Amino acid sequence: MSTKDQLLYSALHGTAMRYAAERRSLDESIEELREIADGRNDILAGLIFAQRTVTKGGNAPARKEREPRTSRG
């Protein structure tokens, strides 16, 4: 991603987080985020995918469980 894209992604992310904290209407929030994205649906889709992965476990890679350490001796 270029710096311009990263700035847009950050702006969208911050706005989405603020809207969520304010418990705003989902439909209105999505519409406003689309306006901010200004046709960059690829970045908006990436933001939505990333958020779902973080908040719901989505398609995040599974975490390996560590083996318990045993004492050597």
DSSP string, 17-38: HHHHHTT--HHHHHHHHHHHHT
40 three-state secondary structure:
coil
- CA dist 15 and 26 (Å) reads 13
- CA dist 47 and 42 (Å) reads 9
> How long is the chain?
73
Q: How confident is the model at residue 54 (pLDDT cuts 50, 70, 90)?
A: low
- CA dist 44 and 51 (Å) reads 11
pLDDT of 73 > 60? The answer is: no
Write out pLDDT tens, residues 6-51. Answer: 999 999 989 988 988 899 888 898 899 999 999 998 888 887 776 6
